[in-house]
Structure 1
Amino acid sequence: MARPTIHDVAAAAGVSVATVSKAVNGRYGISASTAQRVLDVVHELGYESSLVASSMRSHRTGVIGVLVADFEPFSSEILKGVGAALHHSRYDLLAYSGTRQRDSEGWERRSLSRLSGTLIDGAIMVTPTVVSASTEIPVVAIDPHTGRADLPTVESDSFAGAMQATKHLIELGHRRIGFLAGRPDLRSSIAREAGYKRALSEGGIAFDPRLVRIGLYQQETSREPAVELLSLPDRPTAVFAANDLSAIAMVEVASRRGLSIPRDLSVVGFDDIPEASQMNPALTTIRQPMQNLGASAAHMLIALMAGDEPEHMHVRLPTRLVRRQTTAPPATA
């Protein structure tokens, strides 16, 4: 079935194309009854004006873009938060992943160049590899790169969350605590390793670099590092993983090696994605307010697009420990 055009609407409503344009865009010059008749036909035919054509006329599209490297659990929760924040606004949401270029540094800049000015009025970048962007539209970054942030940013308190996770394991009696790190290029990963080290220090435990491996925040890339940790002659009795996907990989690898969770190995994650509470055993983790991250970024971006100064240009949200079934005192304690 062909997509209805503005000419189809005009013919069905018995008005000119110019009148349809005025009714759709809420302009003056037509009576309320005529505008309502046109809008009824618009609804009946399912007509939608072209975003590109609209942006060429008004230089505004009414669309906010969310740029993600991949549609994994973390970014999906972010999108839910952005969508909820935009629910009563005049903005629509466009989720975009540059699949052909997302593995290369700076893919966000190329995506912004492609989208800005024609499809979106502002953008939210999730875990971007860059923290500066020369663009005509306002941009907010969530969980940004390690460099100096020239953009407004929203992130969780990764340092405090990592301390909570490690202290929880120490309080259970663990002394050999492994760390499955995230992406080295992200501030969150660096902060979580720093929090892990601080908690060890405050607990009187010497940091052992042999107990640290890099999982890159992905389940598939965390399996081999998990095997390496569990293959150590004096393996850890507990592991803090920098995100839930890495923690899930650790639990899978441990189970395949015949270890019982949490009797033989305690595991703590970070994020509290939906899968964390659904797995068996349910994952003890650090809950970061992922949907609130998205909502906060959306509110900040809306203010910037309106020409206003947000109350805070760099927002850090609190985290908290969620105790479930993957942590317990070590069997030898």
Structure 2
Amino acid sequence: MTTGTAPQAPREGRGRVLTVAKIARLAGVSAPTVSRVLNGQTGVALETRQRVEAVLREHGYRRPGGASSIAVLELVFHALESLWALEIIRGVEKVAREHDLAVVLTEMQGRLTPGRAWTEQVLTRRPTGVIAVFSELTVAQQSQLATRSIPLVVLDPTGEPLHQTPSVGATNWNGGLAATRHLLDLGHRRIAMLSGPTEWPCCRARLDGYRAAMDAADVPLDPELVRISTLYVEGGLADGRALLRLPDPPTAIFTANDLQALGVYEAARLDGVRIPEELSVVGFDDLSFTRWSGPPMTTVRQPLERMGATAARMIIELAAGRPLEQHRVELATELVVRESTAAPSEC
């Protein structure tokens, strides 16, 4: 059973109708397969779908409402304000190119949930699938996609994934643990943590990893050294300055992302604090600018490009009707030690 508006029979030449049977014959597939492609249903191998789409394009067919017959992959971001997003786009685009898919990119300008207009446009486009990056689709939106057989994969989800919604993330807890252990091994004990919003699992996991490392080292946690900040340079600057102006300031700061760490760099510069001689700094993500920072930044590498590629491959598997080996994929993080960390000056 299909949903939505039934596709109109395409025309071939002057007044001649290109029937489903003829499309099937030209593409070398069965008529039910053509119907599934026309109705945007899953269960068709990507190569087969592309062969049918090629026949449709050759004969000038367009779906009802003017939607293109070109297969697309929908990529939704809450914001496009840093190299973080670019790394993910690069991974998605690489896989999409390998499979002759176009990528449609939507930015929600800081909102976490797409609006009604986006939902209507996606249902009209009927993409091969949707990847939601750091975004939250409502239960109703997820149901609408499922009804139209449009697969959904969530990348770095902001909330706990609903039911069996496939998702891709990184080992954030391990990353937080490794970063804090590195600072402890250097001799630091006054270690501050700039977290992002703790309602987001990735930020909460990094904070929990920091706490676990401090607890394992039997180092008491000073509540003044833990700040919930925004994931931008401005957050790192404001909270970094507040930390450095404490009566007993930290000798090291671990941040939830590289942008916050860059803000801490600026806070240290403004207050005349030298990195790493007087303050060690560790970021998270390993964006391209970290190796050119002054000094080059120690950070936790998050495999952002691989995360995007993994999500795209999951969409392709689901669109072809193949079951996923894993519904939740977590890729490993890695501590990258550069020149922004050193033993505290009193050691």
TM-score using structure 2 length: 0.78
Q: How does 1:15-30 map to 2 (within 5 A)?
A: 16=13
| Unaligned segments of structure 1, at least 5 residues | 1-14, 31-47
Structure 2 counterpart of 1:139? 152
1:110 to partner: Cα distance: 5.9
Structure 2 counterpart of 1:314? 328
Q: Decide which of 310, 315, 324 is 1:301's aligned counterpart.
A: 315
SS of the aligned residue for 1:331 comes to coil
Give the Cα–Cα distance (whole angstroms) in 1 for the partners of residues 72 and 64 of structure 2. Answer: 10
TM-superposition CA deviations, 1:125-159 (whole Å, max 9, x none): 11113575223221101110233433211000000
1:119 to partner: Cα distance: 5.7
Q: Decide which of 117, 124, 130 is 2:131's aligned counterpart.
A: 124
1:18 to partner: Cα distance: 8.2
- Describe the shift of the 1:141–1:122 C-alpha distance in structure 2 as closer, same or farther (beyond 3 A): same
1:60 to partner: Cα distance: 5.8
SS of the aligned residue for 2:221 comes to coil
- Describe the shift of the 1:108–1:219 C-alpha distance in structure 2 as closer, same or farther (beyond 3 A): farther
1:183 to partner: Cα distance: 2.5
1:57 to partner: Cα distance: 8.5
| Unaligned segments of structure 2, at least 5 residues | 1-11, 28-56
Give the Cα–Cα distance (whole angstroms) in 2 for the partners of residues 312 and 112 of structure 1. Answer: 27
Structure 2 counterpart of 1:209? 223
1:54 to partner: Cα distance: 3.9
CA RMSD of aligned residues (A): 2.9
Mean alpha-carbon deviation: is it higher for 119-128 or for 64-73?
A: 119-128
TM-superposition CA deviations, 1:15-55 (whole Å, max 9, x none): 94789x99xxx87569xxxxxxxxxxxxxxxxx99x99347
Q: Does 1:257 align with 2:266?
A: no
Q: Does 1:82 align with 2:92?
A: yes
Give the Cα–Cα distance (whole angstroms) in 1 for the partners of residues 261 and 296 of structure 2. Answer: 11
Structure 1 counterpart of 2:182? 168
Structure 1 counterpart of 2:202? 188
Q: How does 1:1-333 map to 2 (within 5 A)?
A: 16=13, 53-54=62-63, 61-71=70-80, 72-99=82-109, 102-103=110-111, 105-107=112-114, 111-118=118-125, 120-130=127-137, 132=139, 133-136=142-145, 137-150=150-163, 151-333=165-347
Tell me the percent identity. 32
Give the Cα–Cα distance (whole angstroms) in 2 for the partners of residues 273 and 237 of structure 1. Answer: 24
Aligned residue type for 1:263: E
1:230 to partner: Cα distance: 1.1
